[in-house]
């Protein structure tokens, strides 16, 4: 089964974008994942292909219409495997975590609704049971870049995409910790040397050092992660 990303957008030309390069791009060419683009404007009823209208209650900006968004969502769901989750990329959504990325990557794919303007009529999100999901506490011009982030995070976890599977098990968030620091040649650079333990050849000591560094970094930079991890321990 090929993992499939179905993207609903008014700017299909923004794809594949960065997804056409590096690991994701290679995997796409190899058929390890698929990209299906749906132009929301194709479901507009007027000659101008309008998809938005003024917000009820007044205010700045425009809002994507429920009827047009619903038609696009229904078309997307008709193309994908039953049970494929549907997400609306929004800063008000549940934060995207590595654990959630892993769960999405293990499924058949995802339908990704990219908003523009001031957002999308709330009624369609409720009626079609679309889950809001956020890649961070900031606002973008639209959901397309956020969709690419989610897709990239999932694709790199698909079987055969990453060259070194063991590296996935050691990277940030895999064990609830940030990743330890990395070093390579030259041995000394601008007066800064590689930590001696990494040159010792003692794999046990190296593993202990890396673990200690990961814990120290997590405590310092992401106390929220450290506290969450502490609470999970029996």
Tokens representing 71?
């038609």
The pLDDT, as a whole number, for residue 199 is 97
The tokens for 46 are 């007027």
Q: Which long-range contacts (CB under 8 A, 24 or more apart) does 198-202 make?
A: none
- Give residue 172's pLDDT: 67
Domains of the chain: 3-155 (3.40.1280.10), 165-232 (1.10.1270.20)
Percent of the chain surpassing pLDDT 90: 89
What string of DSSP letters covers 189-223? ETTEEPPGGGGS--HHHHHHHHHHHHHHHHHHH-H
Q: What is the pLDDT of residue 169?
A: 63
Tens of pLDDT, residues 169-222: 666 687 889 999 999 999 999 999 999 999 999 999 999 999 999 999 999 999
pTM reported for the whole predicted model: 0.91
Span 61-79, pLDDT tens digits: 999 999 999 999 999 999 9
Structure tokens, 3: 């993992």
Asked whether the predicted pLDDT for residue 19 surpasses 90, the reply is: yes
Q: What is the pLDDT of residue 166?
A: 57
Helices 144-155 + 98-105 axis angle, to 10:
70
| Average pLDDT of the segment spanning 104-110 | 98
């Amino acid at each position: 089964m090929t993992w499939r990303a179905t993207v609903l957008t008014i700017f299909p030309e923004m794809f594949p974008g960065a997804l056409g390069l590096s690991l994701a791009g290679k995997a796409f060419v190899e058929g390890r994942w698929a990209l299906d683009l749906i132009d929301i404007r194709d479901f507009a009823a007027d000659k101008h292909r309008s998809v938005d209208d003024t917000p009820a209650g007044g205010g700045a900006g425009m809002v994507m219409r429920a009827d047009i968004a619903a038609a696009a969502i229904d078309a997307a769901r008709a193309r994908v495997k039953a049970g494929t989750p549907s997400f609306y990329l929004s800063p008000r959504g549940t934060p995207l975590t590595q654990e959630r990325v892993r769960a999405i990557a293990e499924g058949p794919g995802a339908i990704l609704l990219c908003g523009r303007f001031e957002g999308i009529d709330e009624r369609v999100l409720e009626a079609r049971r679309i889950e809001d999901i956020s890649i961070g506490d900031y606002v973008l011009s639209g959901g397309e870049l956020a969709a690419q982030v989610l897709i990239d995070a999932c694709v790199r976890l698909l079987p055969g995409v990453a060259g070194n599977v063991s590296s996935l098990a050691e990277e940030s968030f895999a064990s609830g910790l940030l990743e330890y620091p990395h070093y390579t040649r030259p041995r000394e650079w601008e007066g800064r040397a590689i930590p001696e333990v990494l040159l010792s050849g003692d794999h046990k000591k190296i593993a202990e050092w890396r673990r200690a560094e990961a814990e120290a970094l997590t405590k310092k930079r992401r106390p929220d992660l450290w506290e969450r991890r502490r609470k999970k321990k029996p």
